Amino acid sequence: MQTHYPEAAGAGCASLRPADFPAPPRAPKARHRFTSSWSSALRNVLGRGQIHLQGSSLLSVRGGLLRVKSEGQEEIQDAVRACSRLFGALLERGELFVGQLPPEETVLAGSQGATRKYKVWMRHRYQSCCNRLVELLAHSSFQVQELALSTLMKFVQLEGMHPLEKPKWEGNYLFPRQLFKSVVGGLLSQEEDHSLLLSQFREYLEHDDIRYHTMQAAADTVARVTSGHPEVPLAFWDNAFTLLAAVSLPRQDCSVSSFYVKPAQLSDKWKVTHPKEHRKAFQLMWLGFLKHKLPLSLCKKVLVIMHDSILPHLAQPSLMIDFLTRAYDIGGAVSLLALNGLFILIHKHNLEYPDFYRKLYGLLDPSIFHVKYRARFFHLADLFLSSSHLPAYLVAAFAKRLSRLALTAPPEALLMVLPFICNLLRRHPACRVLVHRPGGPELDADPYDPGEEDPAKSRALESSLWELQCCPWRSDDSPPAPQALQRHYHPEVSKAASVINQLLCLPEVSIAPLLELTAFEMFERDLKKKGPEAVPLEFIPARGLLGRRDDLCAQCFTLS
């Protein structure tokens, strides 16, 4: 006897033998489960190719993956693959209901045709399957997570090519936004770190349409989570940053042609085809993320990529001024990292920041030689102080502060700071009075005030760089200052400090090779140095303790 299913009875329907595919209970009297026997039967049927999708196919799958959670990893993967093949075939053949999905109970209890009931019922099963796959993105096994992600992205592609919603007008761009938004929401977990899964998702971001809708979905997810939670978990911020940092727009406004969901024909009316719209979405995504109070560790990560991966792609880079100024006011390493973004806004976008150099001067403290971002800071400081239009008192304050800090700096930092100071004197001849002041007054103490935060009030231009030379207010018969860097214990530091005694009209010295110099590299370089060769003291080598036989010493003395 052949079994017929009320949900799919109609013309053109095929049938399955009960031995191949057990009949599910009738809906909606009880909730149905996708048991392991169902999973096995479904795999057997799909494997033998006994399902023929003709019109309204006879296939009742009740409950999707509802019991996959209680099964083992192998059973979960088998069930996901089975549903991937099943619903993939249904999407390609148009076996799912298209349009606004009505409630399942209302349709099954109504008097509509069997074909409509079947399609609505199967559409609900497809929706349940997608919801369960999103839940599997948080599974403990990465293999299950990866398989669930690839299956969901396969459904996104098929649903985009065979939309489940009716177009509002001819040529309307249809993308499965709701399904894709749920995928992005599953990736941005609030409990677990999904950095490894997000690295797998990165390959999909190479497609222009996926990248565009990812930016929109990420912005919506961040707004939803932050509005519903007074304290957002750190795991969510880390996942959100990992996803946002993976979104990279092309450097130039090239044409948008790489689509994951390939449309039949592109239209200029679609926003996804315009690079300008991508830049706007990119800007809204980052502004919505950075307007919140981020953890300090995450703020550093954002500032590291700000100048290279964020600012060049914004439609209005000046909108980042609020975030960068807040970060610059924090102090410490965060302020150092904010310099790069501020420099781009000042140099390329005419940003006016009146207290910029005052705050930059305040960042110079003994810890500047030991921070992780020392090379970046001095590279930017070299750029900021390269202008010949800077007042002499400002440049003198920086040179004096660096000279004072150099007294306690490690040798690897001194080899970079000393050429930096000499370059400042070469660029600004008015500051050379710090080295040579003809007819200057005799000083009993250094007029420079190291505790003054304002460089204009530090009186640096009235002082001298005695830290590099000898103290100018000492008498001629007094020995040189013991802390002068020209008397440093390391010969290379002493040699670098003595350059200030030479003519400063020579060209500048590039500090780029010295920015990342470490103590280990200096030690290795000293070990590789070859010592001087042995100098011969006598042409004829001596024989014996008393020399040659005809030597006067041998004639007058003898050994007994």
- In the predicted model, is pLDDT for residue 217 greater than 50? yes
**Mean per-residue pLDDT, 184-210:** 92
Nearest alpha carbon to residue 338 among 364, 309, 370, 376: 376
The more confidently predicted of residues 106 and 225 is 225
Residues 310 and 307: their CA atoms lie apart, in Å, by: 6
- Asked whether the bond before 28 is cis by omega within 30 degrees of 0, the reply is yes
What pLDDT sits at residue 6?
36
What pLDDT sits at residue 220?
94
**Mean per-residue pLDDT, 403-409:** 91
The answer to whether 462 touches 447, Cβ cutoff 8 Å, is: yes
* Three-class secondary structure of residue 474 per DSSP: coil
The first and second tokens of residue 246, run together, are 């993976």
What pLDDT sits at residue 23?
39
Nearest alpha carbon to residue 193 among 132, 246, 145: 145
**Mean per-residue pLDDT, 28-49:** 40
Calculate the alpha carbon distances from 401 to 335, 365, 508 in Å: 18, 9, 20
**Mean per-residue pLDDT, 408-425:** 91
Helical residues (DSSP H) of 137-274, grouped into ranges: 142-161, 177-187, 195-201, 208-228, 234-246
The first and second tokens of residue 332, run together, are 């410490």
Nearest alpha carbon to residue 66 among 105, 153, 15, 124: 124
Nearest alpha carbon to residue 395 among 458, 472, 467, 341: 458
CA dihedral 259, 265, 270, 272 (to 10 degrees): 10
- In the predicted model, is pLDDT for residue 474 greater than 90? no
Nearest alpha carbon to residue 104 among 124, 90, 87: 124
Residue 24: pLDDT band (50, 70, 90) is very low
- In the predicted model, is pLDDT for residue 231 greater than 80? yes
Out of 47-51, 132-136, 232-236, 290-294, least confident range: 47-51
The more confidently predicted of residues 218 and 515 is 218
Q: Calculate Rg over the CA atoms of the chain.
A: 38
| pLDDT tens profile 363-387 | 898 988 888 888 888 998 998 898 8
The first and second tokens of residue 435, run together, are 């080295």
Residue 469: pLDDT band (50, 70, 90) is confident
Q: What is the pTM of this model?
A: 0.74
Out of 68-77, 216-225, 297-306, 423-432, least confident range: 68-77
DSSP string, 264-332: SS--TT-GGG-HHHHHHHHHHHHHHHHTS---HHHHHHHHHHIIIIIGGG-S-GGGGHHHHHHHHHH-H
What pLDDT sits at residue 301?
93
Residues 502 and 516: their CA atoms lie apart, in Å, by: 26
The answer to whether 59 touches 122, Cβ cutoff 8 Å, is: yes
Nearest alpha carbon to residue 137 among 152, 149, 151, 154: 149
What pLDDT sits at residue 1?
37
Residue 9: pLDDT band (50, 70, 90) is very low
* Three-class secondary structure of residue 164 per DSSP: coil
Q: Which residue in the block uniquely carries the two structure tokens 């001629």? A: 476
Give the CB-side neighbour count of residue 161, counting CA atoms within 13 A: 15
Residue 483: pLDDT band (50, 70, 90) is low
| pLDDT tens profile 439-463 | 767 777 889 999 899 999 999 998 8
The answer to whether 7 touches 115, Cβ cutoff 8 Å, is: no
What pLDDT sits at residue 185?
94
| pLDDT tens profile 99-148 | 888 888 887 777 778 888 888 888 888 999 999 999 999 988 899 999 99
- In the predicted model, is pLDDT for residue 307 greater than 60? yes
* pLDDT more than 70, % of the chain: 80
The answer to whether 470 touches 501, Cβ cutoff 8 Å, is: no
The answer to whether 215 touches 281, Cβ cutoff 8 Å, is: yes
The answer to whether 513 touches 525, Cβ cutoff 8 Å, is: no
Calculate the alpha carbon distances from 221 to 178, 192, 354, 560 in Å: 12, 16, 37, 101
Mean of all residue pLDDT scores within the chain: 79
Q: Which residue in the block uniquely carries the two structure tokens 């799912």? A: 96
Residue 546: pLDDT band (50, 70, 90) is low
Nearest alpha carbon to residue 385 among 395, 393, 377, 375: 395
The more confidently predicted of residues 551 and 98 is 98
Query: What letter represents residue 385's amino acid?
Result: L
The answer to whether 54 touches 94, Cβ cutoff 8 Å, is: no
Give the chain's largest Cα–Cα span: 139
Give the other-Cβ count within 10 Å of 451's Cβ.
5
